[in-house]
A and B are shown apart, each in its own frame.
Chain A
Amino acid sequence: MTRTLSEAESKRVLAGHGVPVLDERLAATPDEAVAAADGLGYPVVVKACGAGIAHKTERGLVRLGLADATAVRSAAADVLAAVDASDGPVELLIAPMVRGTRELIAGLHDDPQFGRCVMVGLGGILAEAVGDVAFRLVPVEPVDVDEMLEELGAQAILGEFRGEPPVERAALGEVLLGLSHFAESDPAVVAVDVNPLVVVDGRPVAVDALVEVAE
């Protein structure tokens, strides 16, 4: 049996292994959400957050680009209204709205033949359809990580892109090394999805993440 951690918990754990995450706040009510957003500065994102929550986007549980307190309050109420008892305990996650054209994916997978692997590739909603990814077995060395990035078909994405600076490969490499280290340090980890891993000013940041552990 496996269990998934909530988005907030997943990010907390991953941040401990060097995966860059945003300054995010948890809130239980629309009022708390507004307070959190005031603290972060606008615009923000409001998302449902809970161990039982998946497919957030498809279910309308992610509200982007909220520019002021009124928008946050209304979005928070909508999100809370859209979840039900079957979702288990649900909180609100308030995050700064980041802008980045490029979405990558990074993760861990437990392969039935080869065991746990690190992955990197083109992310976002098209990740599976495009399938531009590279895998290596845990543990990976810095040289393996460099080669994974080199192996991706869409090298143009990693370069200077639509007015944004090139992706800092070393910073992206640190994410992959961190995932490998995470797997090594905890044998219970069976899967990690960091998708999207958005490139902001050339540096990757985990905008959504999910960790699955064996029980």
Chain B
Amino acid sequence: MTAVASHRFDALFEPRGVIVAGASSHPGKFGFVALHNILRHEYGGAVFATNREGGEILGVTACTSIDDLPASAADLVFVCTPAAANVELMRACAKKGVGAAFVTSAGYGEAGEEGRRAERELVELAEELGMLLVGPNGQGVVSTPVSLCAQIVAPYPPRGRIAIVSQSGNFVSSFQNYAVQTGVGVSRAVSAGNAAAVTVPDFLEYYAADPETSVALAYVEGVVDGRAFYEQVRRVAERKPLVLLKGGRTGGGQRAAASHTGALASDERVFEGMCRQAGVTLAGSVEEAFEAAATFATQPLPRGPRVAVLTTAGGWGVVTADAVVRSELELAPLPDDLRTVIDAKLPPRWSRNNPIDLAGAETRDTIPEVLELAAGHDDIDAVVYLGLGIQSNQARLMRTGPFFPDHGLERIVAYHERQDERFARAAADVSLATGKPVLTATELAVTDPDNAGPRTVRATGRLCYPSSNRAVIALEHLWRYARYGMRRARA
């Protein structure tokens, strides 16, 4: 099918009002949960509900028929009715000026020949009515700019710049759970369900044009028309980064083939090649996909591959340097002039190389100063900073122990926490000032998210990476995307 015109998605993502069709008073039913979630997150538009018996649900008076609703008051109908009721429902909604239907109902393409027939009928009806049909068998849609949480699952993510689409509704939840945890937010999210009419790449094309979105994140399994998919994702990646998570990557590798080339052409290898050719970055796991998207959403693109690692302790730096060397990034040779200026600030036990290992020799202002010097150097394209939060971790032991606040503990605890806050802010400030990525990694991001270090990273709107390896992999996604653009712009 041809791509869906962008403006038709406005009814889905920026509706003036929403109708929950098949609203229920039973809190276990989808028709209740959907209405609850819309009201719970204070969607600003009008909210309507229909129910065969009428009545009041969560303070909303349910109509027994769409015909009783005012015209042009709702752009989106959220369909929780049984499949058999949906043809009549959509016709009635179209008369009221509804432009989009999100269909949660099951019993369609996933349910045998009869279901496939009903799905085709639904798609044809939507085309006839000029209505955007999403699903069926989908879990919902989220649009944070208008506080819309029309879904039958949790959570509702913080507002942000990542736009999500998934062939599997549960991955929408997974990605949004990470958004809640990390604080790196979401603009739009949609579960494409059976994607009978609007497909995953259709949504991606909308995201490419969406001013609320700076990176698209998608989960795909089957691709119906590979060439069309390639053309669409390539167009998307020309405008914005696109991170893909692909299910079923290892299947089909052993297909019988007469030629060596054919035998080597596993689905995974061809898909990976297609992604690289399209400028799409392919992630190997759910967390990698989210973290790559979160990095695109919150860090500038690197202008080159040269990474400096700044650490307060040796082992972390060594492991991180190994990860950089394994990646498509490069460990920058420490520039001589940078070595000289750092020499002037530190006793000689620091590493005098990259990783820049301060070896515990840092004083009050060393970390912000070295961050600034490293990121500011022309021969360094990105910085990974390790060791944030160690002092606050010790402060926590003091604060929660029996000697606090006496023996000078109150003062030192406050000092440590203040310092980690400063360092986290410095990482963000230096990144903004230099236009280079500065990634902060510590396991405290997950082991003690309230630690002043990771807490402050979140407050700057950035991701605190749970390990340096994960930071390096996320940065590698940015570099691949940046390099793709640089090479083609020159060509």
**Known: A113-B267, A115-B226. Is A191-B276 also a contact (CB below 8 A)?**
no
**B residues within 8 A CB of A151?**
276
Query: A191: which of B230, B258, B267 is its contact (CB, 8 Å)?
Result: B258
Main secondary structure of the interface of B (DSSP, over half): helix
Q: Would you give the 0/1 interface string for A144-186, flagging 1 where the beta carbon is closer than 8 Å to chain B?
A: 1001100100000000000000000000000000000000000
Cα-based distance from A108 to B267 in the complex (angstroms): 15
Question: Does B262 make an interface contact (CB < 8 A)?
Answer: yes
Cα-based distance from A137 to B226 in the complex (angstroms): 10
Question: Does B270 make an interface contact (CB < 8 A)?
Answer: yes
Minimal beta-carbon separation of B76 from chain A (angstroms): 33
A193, B226: Cβ atoms closer than 8 Å: no
Minimal beta-carbon separation of B122 from chain A (angstroms): 26
Main secondary structure of the interface of A (DSSP, over half): strand
**A residues within 8 A CB of B226?**
111, 113-115
Minimal beta-carbon separation of A124 from chain B (angstroms): 10
Query: B265: which of A127, A135, A192 is its contact (CB, 8 Å)?
Result: A135
B273, A212: Cβ atoms closer than 8 Å: no
Cα-based distance from A191 to B255 in the complex (angstroms): 15
Question: Does A142 make an interface contact (CB < 8 A)?
Answer: yes
A window 194-215: CB within 8 A of B: 195, 210, 212
Minimal beta-carbon separation of A184 from chain B (angstroms): 14
Q: How many residues of B contact A (CB 8 A)?
A: 25
Q: Which residue of chain A has its CB nearest to the CB of B223?
A: A113
Cα-based distance from A117 to B261 in the complex (angstroms): 10
Cα-based distance from A128 to B276 in the complex (angstroms): 22
Query: B261: which of A54, A108, A142, A143 is its contact (CB, 8 Å)?
Result: A108
Question: Does B170 make an interface contact (CB < 8 A)?
Answer: no
B227, A115: Cβ atoms closer than 8 Å: yes
Q: Which residue of chain A has its CB nearest to the CB of B491?
A: A143
Minimal beta-carbon separation of B157 from chain A (angstroms): 32
**B residues within 8 A CB of A94?**
none
Q: Which residue of chain B has its CB nearest to the CB of A116?
A: B227
**A residues within 8 A CB of B313?**
none
**Known: A114-B230, A119-B264. Is A193-B277 also a contact (CB below 8 A)?**
no
Cα-based distance from A108 to B272 in the complex (angstroms): 16
B window 255-282: CB within 8 A of A: 257-265, 267, 269-274, 276-277
Question: Does A76 make an interface contact (CB < 8 A)?
Answer: no
A109, B265: Cβ atoms closer than 8 Å: yes
Cα-based distance from A167 to B265 in the complex (angstroms): 24
Question: Does A102 make an interface contact (CB < 8 A)?
Answer: no
Query: A136: which of B259, B260, B262, B277 is its contact (CB, 8 Å)?
Result: B277
Cα-based distance from A133 to B263 in the complex (angstroms): 11
New contact pairs (7) apart from A4-B258, A115-B227, CB-CB < 8 Å? A113-B270, A114-B226, A117-B270, A134-B269, A136-B274, A136-B276, A147-B276
26 pairs from A and B in contact (CB 8 Å cutoff): A54-B258, A105-B260, A109-B259, A109-B264, A109-B265, A113-B226, A113-B267, A114-B270, A115-B226, A117-B270, A117-B273, A119-B264, A127-B264, A128-B264, A136-B277, A137-B227, A137-B230, A137-B273, A142-B491, A143-B488, A147-B276, A191-B262, A192-B259, A193-B260, A210-B259, A212-B258
Name B's A-contacting residues (CB within 8 A): 223, 226-227, 230, 257-265, 267, 269-274, 276-277, 487-488, 491
